[in-house]
A and B are shown apart, each in its own frame.
Chain A
Amino acid sequence: MRAAATVERFDNHWNYAEEVEVLTFDLNGETFALEAVIVQEILDLLPETAVPGSQPFVASVINFRGKVIPLADLRLAFGMEAAEATIDSRFIVIEIDLQGEPTLVGLRTDKVNEVTTLTKNASEAPPSVGMRWRADYINCLVKRGGEFIILPNLQAIFSSRHDAAGAVN
């Protein structure tokens, strides 16, 4: 059951195409990739405003071109340690569909790398064991050189609740 669902998600992600153009970025030493089409802009760090009572995963908002948009930290979704910003840190602004509405969201990254093309041949569904991250948060892994690039499943990440200590309900 679970394997079938994963495979379907995996195929969907590639949209039955052989290649996908992505923007890669680093987070906690891992390389992630977002489909280039959803990326709106890469920003230098901006002043953040904490939203008391929100989920830690989206604990603040920023002013993006006159719009107030949430700033999300994928680290918390993947159970990584929170980290201080560095000189390479950037925000990536993406547009995703949340409950049927296109929504702008900022993502924290440690470093933005490059726009590149990944091929389906090199991709694999996330393994069901041997991984500390929630499998449903990952669309697929793509092998490149000696390492894996993680394609996160943003829909799954943003549509689930990230209850953690500190969240006021």
Chain B
Amino acid sequence: MSALDPVAVFRMEAAECLEAIEAGLLDLTHQLDNKDLVDAVFRGLHTLKGSGAMFGFEALAAFTHHCETAFDRVRKGEVAATSELVAAVLAAQDHMRALVEQPDADHGDTGHKLLAQLQAAVGGKTATPATAAAAVTAPVQNTSGKNSWRIRFSLPASSMANGTNPLGLLDELRDLGECTVRANTSAIPPLDALTPTELYVSWDVTLTSEQDRSAIDDVFIFVLDDMELSVDEIDGTVAIAAAPAEAGPARLAAASVSPAPVPAAAVPEFRPVEAVPVKREAPVAASQAKAAENVRVPAERLDELMDRVGELVIAQSRLSQLAGASTDIALRSVSEEIERLSGELRDTMMVLRMVPVATLFSRFRRLVHDLARETGKVIELVTEGETTEVDKTVIERLADPLVHLVRNSIDHGLETPDDRLAAGKTEAGTVTLSARQAGGEVIISIKDDGRGINRERVRAKAESSGLILPGQPLSDQELLQLIFAPGFSTAAAITNLSGRGVGMDVVKKTVEALRGAIDIVSVPGQGSEVSLRIPLTLAIIDGLLVRVGSGRYVIPLSAVEECLELSLEEDLRSRGRSFISLRDSLVPFLRLRDLFRTGTKPDVHQKVVVISTGTERVGLVVDQIIGDHQTVIKSMSKLHNDVATFSGATILGDGSVALILDVGHLVAAGQQQEAQLRVAG
């Protein structure tokens, strides 16, 4: 496999970074005085700026710098975190995303506008004591406001290779106040043992500053996890005495930056505090453990692995055939062992593609946040079952339909706060996104506690647009399903959000393309729930393996209703009309032998597989039903794009290929062919 393009890697990382920033910002909207969240967002912005600059995304780095600065001021307690600021940075975050995607595109003055907003949000407002979290964490302050510190730090030997520049850290310390720096060179090995790229020097710094302790920590914020740092509060005399002794005689590159600090400001009553070395070992272990939890793998590598496993399974089935025919006990036992292992490997493989729906749900927090601002409704988003796992492809394809459904719930389902209060409900409407697994399916539902679907309006609309006849009796479910009809909308006035009905047909199509189904439950005045039932994975389906002529085909089991025999007399009788009666209802059928032009004679005992395409029941006449088959779906190449009858292919135990029928297209193709036959007479 080719090495990954560094820019592509940066984009992936930036996307994750932006997601983290967004999540932090959204959390922050609820807890404006949470210092940890402010720090998290700041760190995210800083990382994005840094790596952006490193990979040549200058515009991104420059723009992000401003947001970072704004958050830095919040961190330092200079300004309060306000919802305006969070909103401004949220908006800015979208711009950053655009800058990551298309760094060279002309983004006009979006950036300037956003920065102006940011400025307005930050400018002029100073922190109120309640939100100035920095004040709380400040250490014992002495009366004059100046502190002296002795800072000792050493970086890991490999840190220069990682791009850390100790000089930068020293410069930042110098910015904090008067500062004496001494290098401790005692660890430098003899010349022949010296590796030029490694760092052997550690530093003793005496700093007198008006800043508090956290300012020092901030200098080291990005290297803190890997380094040793001790910060002691001292008075001037101790500092002078102690430091040279520690530094040792080999004061080789001692960088005496500013005159020796005899801080007049150091206050006598300020007693030395016990040295508490800040060794960050525990957090290091924790963060490493966390990093090891996830490995980013391109999907195509997984597909390749899947192919290999598929081959292995086929080779294994050949082996077990050979072993079965042999009398060699040892061979048989090895074959059984390999059968077990390859089965397990296949199961593991399938799980690799599964990702928790949390990744999908997290996107909706932002959407709901924006929609709440846009509509003036008070909305609470509740998510449940985020650990439920679904195939990654399914998740990607569901994103848009779910956006639609959530928008609809908010736009049409939820009432305004006033209406809700009038109806005796809480002011805040709740939208619940939940996922759970049920057998081979995952059920994702979007539930709101709004006004529910107005059946009269649905019926009136359907009648006026000719979807149903006036007064046509319909079950409740049938009536509700009408909202998925193309172009259907009950929105009296379509807002700038999409109306219920606009695009609902697309939602239905997407779900059906995933071999899923949609259920709606709606109670007037109490809310609606739309549930999507989606198969867990696209990679495997349960299929019914059948034979037509000499070819073998797979019919998705989810479409199969029943199988029956086509008796010879029924066969003869049906020559002219191509339908059979099944429990008093007529079921048309297609002879796959004719459709596929096999040119073979039919078997004596032909079978009819009755399939349902949702609206219609159709029988497929096959020569033989072989049985259930767990089907690993392989896509067909572009050269077979024009063949709609098959949705893919699979590899059977003997290594041969069987095609998977696309039931919907097959019925359409059959109708077309029959129409042609009728015309031809």
Residues of A within 8 A of B (CB): 46-47, 49-55, 58, 61-63, 65-70, 72, 98-99, 101, 103-105, 158, 166, 168-169
Contact = CB atoms under 8 A, between A and B. Distances in A.
Interface stretch (B173-181, B282-290, B652-660): B652-660
Q: Choose among A61, A101, A103, A169 the residue with the greatest number of B CB atoms under 10 Å from its CB.
A: A61
B634 interface: yes
A134 B307 CA distance: 38
Contacts of B595: 52
27 contacts: A47-B655, A49-B551, A49-B658, A51-B636, A51-B640, A51-B646, A52-B597, A53-B596, A53-B669, A54-B643, A61-B640, A61-B659, A63-B656, A65-B307, A66-B306, A66-B307, A66-B311, A67-B634, A68-B634, A68-B636, A68-B649, A68-B650, A68-B657, A70-B636, A72-B639, A103-B637, A104-B637
B345 to A, nearest CB: 13
A63 B655 contact: yes
Interface string B291-322: 00000000000000011111100100000000
Contacts, number: 92
A101 B638 CA distance: 9
Contacts of A55: 639, 642
Contacts of B654: 47
B645 interface: yes
A86 to B, nearest CB: 21
Given A50-B551, A53-B669, A66-B308, 19 more contacts: A47-B654, A47-B657, A49-B649, A49-B656, A49-B659, A51-B636, A51-B646, A52-B645, A54-B642, A58-B639, A58-B640, A61-B657, A63-B655, A65-B307, A68-B657, A98-B637, A98-B638, A103-B639, A158-B639
A150 B158 CA distance: 59
A156 to B, nearest CB: 14
Contacts of A101: 638
A53 to B, nearest CB: 5
A70 B658 contact: no
Contacts of A50: 551, 596
Nearest to B313: A66
A99 B597 contact: no
Closest 9 CB pairs of A and B: A52-B596, A66-B307, A66-B311, A49-B657, A66-B310, A68-B649, A68-B634, A47-B656, A70-B639
Contacts of B648: 68
Contact of A63 (B306, B636, B657): B657
Contacts of A58: 639-640
A103 B635 CA distance: 12
B110 to A, nearest CB: 31
